Amino acid sequence: MSARLNRVRLRLRDLAAGAAFGSLVISWQLPSVLLLLAAAGFVLALFDRRPFGDRHLVGGVFLLLAGALCFGMVWKGPVDLVVGACCFATLLTLQRMLSAPGPAVDAQVNLASLLMVAGGGALSGDLLYAPMLALYAVFSILAMGLGVVSATVAPGTTFPLRRVLLPLSVGAGLAMVLGLTFFILFPRLSWNMAGGRVSTGLGPVTTGFSDQVRLGGSGSIKSNPRVVARVHLSPDPGDEALNRYWIGRTYDTFDGVRWTAQRTPVETEGQIRLSHGGDRLIHQEIELLPAYGARTALALEAPSLFGGAVANTHKGRRRTRMQRLENGEIRFEREAPGYDYHAYSLPADVTREVPALTTGDLDRARSLPADLDPRIPALAQRLLAGEQDPLRAAERLARHLSTRFRYSMELPGEHPDALSHFLFERQEGHCEHFATALTVLLRTQGIPARLATGFFGGERLGDDYILRAGDAHAWTQVLVPGRGWVSVDATPPAFRSAQPEPFLTWLVDRYEALEERWRNSVVDYDIRDQWAFLSGMLSDRERHDVLAGEVVEARPRRALGMGLGAFFGVLLLGWILERRVRRPRSDPATRFHHRLRRTVQRDPTIGAGLARGVPIEELARRLRQTDHPAATPLDDAVRRYLEARFGSRPLGAREASQLLQRLRSALGTAARSS
C-alpha cells in the first residue's frame, strides 16, 4: 500500500473524528476532564503517535474503565444519559484512533465519530454545528474513499492520490447537497419538541444577574456587542433607538461596598400579575438568548404582567412557571440557557397603582451603611438645599452627578470605601457608582430609594428590538408617593446604553444574523415550514393581507423554475468541469510546437508563409535557403521539437522559453534591418 496514501487517509480519518468531537464540544456539556483527555488524544493521533498500538488488552481495559466512568457519571447524576453516551462515544473513538490502524479499525473510528456527530446534534443547536458537520462530512467521505482504494492497492506501488481525491471531493459536495435536499423534503412526522433550541453561540454568557452588586473594578461589558435579548413590541413604537429601561432586579440593602436584596420566592405561577394596567399595556414578546445567562425576567418599565414562559433547554422547549421574589424580581422556575415569554408593561404616562410597602421594606429602602462617610450626607444636604419632594430631589442630585462626574470603565484597584472614593476623590466611575451614589445620597435625606439593574436601550433590528450585553445598566428607583418606584438615572446619558466597537458590532451582528437564520431555517424548521416551502414551489397563489387588501407575499411559479434551473445549472457546471478536468493535456512538445507556430505567425515578414497546413519544418527549410537571420534559431527550435516529440528527449519549460526567446530576438532583428 502506498505509504503516502495511508498517511493521508489516516490524517483525514483523524480530522473527521476531530470535527465530530468539535460538534460535541460546542454544546459545552462534556466534562472538562474528558475535553482535555480527548484534545490530547487528537493531538497524539495527528502526530501519528498511537500508544494503544496492537495492545488489545490495554485498549480493552481502557474501554472498560471508560464505560464504568460514563455509567458512574450518569448514575451519580452529574450528566444525563445522552451526555454520558456522548462521553463514551468520545472515549471509544479515542481508543480506536490511538490503536494500530487497519481497515476494521478505520471503519470503527468512522462509525464512532458518526455517533459523536449524532450526539452533537442531540446536545447542541449551535450554529457552529453546521461547519462541524460539514467538516466531518468532507473529511470522513475522503477518508472512507481512500480507505476503500487503499485496500486494493498492491503493496509497494505508488498511487495517484489526486486522481481519487478529485471525485471524492466532488462527491462530498454532492453528498451535502443531497443531505440538504433530504433535510428539506424528509417528511416531518412530529413537532419539533426536543430540538436543540438554544446555543451558547460566541462563547460563554456575558451578562447575568448576581446576588449582589459590588462597587469597584474595571470592565468591558459596555463594549460587548453580543445580543442577549430579542423583543417584539406591540404596539410598535417604530423608533430606531428605543432608549427605555428594561428592569430585571432591584437591591435595597447597601453595606458600603455591596448591594444585596431579599430574594425569597413569594409566589410561583404560570402567570404573575404585578399591577392592573388597563387596555394600554405594551405587549412584549421576549426571547432571552443564552448570552443573557440568568433566570431573571426582563420587561420594560413598569412591568405589569408576566406569563407564557417557555424554557429553551438543551433537550427542547419546556413550559416553565414564574416566581415573584420578595424584592419584586420575576424569575423563571426552571433553569435553562434561554427563555421565551410574554410581558406587559405600563406606558410611561400611565400612573400605576401603588402597592403598600411594609415597614420593613421602607426601613430597608432608607437604610444606610453603619460606617458611612459623614461627607456624603453633608453633600446631599448641600446639593438639595432643603428640597423635600423625592422626585425633584432625585432629579437634582442626578443632574449634579451626571454633569460633574465623569463616566469611566477603567477603575483599577479596589478601594475600601468605594462610594466616598468615587464622590470625593476620583469623581469618575461607571453606572453602578452613579446609581449607588444617587441612592445613598437620597437615603441620607430620608428619601426611600433602591438600586435597579437591567438594561437600557433597545436597538431596532427588522421588526424587533434587540438588547446587547453592553446595554446592561444600573440606575436608581426613588419611591414617589402616589406613583410608586420611579426611575432616576444619574449616569451621563451618553453612557447609559452600549458603547461597542463598530467593527466588533458589525462582526457580531453578522454572526447573530447568521445564527438567527440558522435557527429559523434549520433548528426551528417544522412541518409548517415544509408545507409552506412545498406549496410555494408548486403554487403561484399570492397571499393577501385581508385588512389592507394588499399583496404581502407572492409565491410565483418561477420559484419552481428557478429551483429546477439551479439544479440543472449545477449539473451542467459539473459536466463542464468534469470535461475540463478529464481533458487530456497535450504533451510539452506539442505545446511547444503550438507556441512556436504562434510566434512565427505573429511575425509580419515571414508569418504569412506559415499558413494552416504548412509544416513548420517547411518554413525552416525555406528560411535556410534564403539565409534569413531567423533561420538558425528556428532550425534549432524545430529540431528540438522533433527530438522531444519523436526522439524521447524531453524538452524542459526553461529550454523551450529560451529557444522561443532566441527566435523572437532574431525575428526582431530581421524586422528592424528590413
Residue numbers at the binding site for another protein (CB under 8 A):
107, 110-111, 114-115, 117-118, 120-122, 124-125, 129, 133, 137, 141, 144-145, 147-154, 157, 159-160, 163-164, 167-168, 171, 174-183, 186, 188-196, 316, 522-526, 582, 584
The CB-of-104 to another protein minimum distance in angstroms stands at 8
- Least gap, CB of 114 to another protein (angstroms): 6
Residue 568 CA to residue 518 CA, distance in Å, equals: 26
Distance, CA of 368 to CA of 340 (rounded, Å): 38
CB of 159 to another protein, least distance (A): 6
- In whole angstroms, the minimum distance from the beta carbon of 423 to another protein comes to 53
Q: What is the CA radius of gyration of the chain?
A: 37
Closest CB 137 distance from another protein, rounded Å: 6
Phi and psi at residue 504, to the nearest 5°: -65, -40
Q: Closest CB to another protein among 191 and 568?
A: 191
CA dihedral 391, 393, 394, 400 (to 10 degrees): 140
Nearer to another protein, 20 or 467 (CB): 20
Angstrom distance (rounded) from CA 269 to CA 368:
34
- C-alpha 209/C-alpha 224 separation (Å) is 16
Distance in angstroms (rounded) separating the CA atoms of residues 404 and 399: 8
Rank residues 582 and 672 by Cβ distance to another protein and give the closer one: 582
Sheet of 265-269, strand order: 265-269, 322-325, 330-332
- Closest contact distance (angstroms) between CB of 607 and another protein is 36
Q: Smallest gap, in angstroms, from Cβ of residue 650 to another protein?
A: 21
Q: Angle formed by the axes of helices 161-185 and 558-582, to 10°?
A: 170
- The residue (of 145 and 256) whose beta carbon lies closer to another protein is 145
The residue (of 527 and 564) whose beta carbon lies closer to another protein is 527
Q: 282: helix, coil or strand? A: strand
Q: In this structure, what C-alpha cell is assigned to residue 359? A: 415597614
Between 84 and 120, whose beta carbon lies closer to another protein?
120
List the one residue out of 340, 260, 236 whose CA is nearest residue 292. 340
Tell me the C-alpha distance between 244 and 459, whole Å: 10
Q: Would you say 167 or 652 has its CB closer to another protein?
A: 167
CB of 248 to another protein, least distance (A): 31
Nearer to another protein by Cβ, of 164 and 663: the residue is: 164
- Alpha carbon distance 406, 401 (integer Å): 9
Contacts of residue 76, Cβ cutoff 8 Å, sequence gap at least 6: none
**Nearest distance in Å: CB 168, another protein:** 7
CB 227 to another protein: min, Å? 22
Closer by beta carbon to another protein, 168 or else 393: 168
Could you tell me which residues come within 8 angstroms of residue 441 by beta carbon, excluding any fewer than 6 positions away?
376, 379, 380, 383, 397
Q: What are phi and psi of 273, to 5 degrees?
A: -105, 130
The CA distance from 491 to 407, in Å, is 7
For residue 197, the minimal CB distance to another protein (Å) is 10
CB of 508 to another protein, least distance (A): 23
Q: Cβ of residue 18: shortest distance to another protein, in angstroms?
A: 17
Instruction: Please say whether the beta carbons of 523 and 197 come within 8 A.
Output: yes
Residue pointed to by grid coordinates 538558425: 632
Cell 493531538 appears where? 43
CB of 193 or CB of 554, closer to another protein = 193
CB closer to another protein out of 162 and 404: 162
- Nearer Cβ to another protein (192/260): 192
Q: Tell me the DSSP string of 314-367.
A: TTEEEE--EEEETTS-EEESS--SEEEEEEEE--TTSPPPPPPPPHHHHHHHH-
In which element (H, E) is residue 486 found? strand 484-488
C-alpha cell at position 494: 451618553
Q: Which is nearer to another protein, 126 or 512 (CB)?
A: 126
Going by DSSP bridges, is the β-strand pair 322-325/265-269 parallel, antiparallel, or unpaired?
Answer: antiparallel
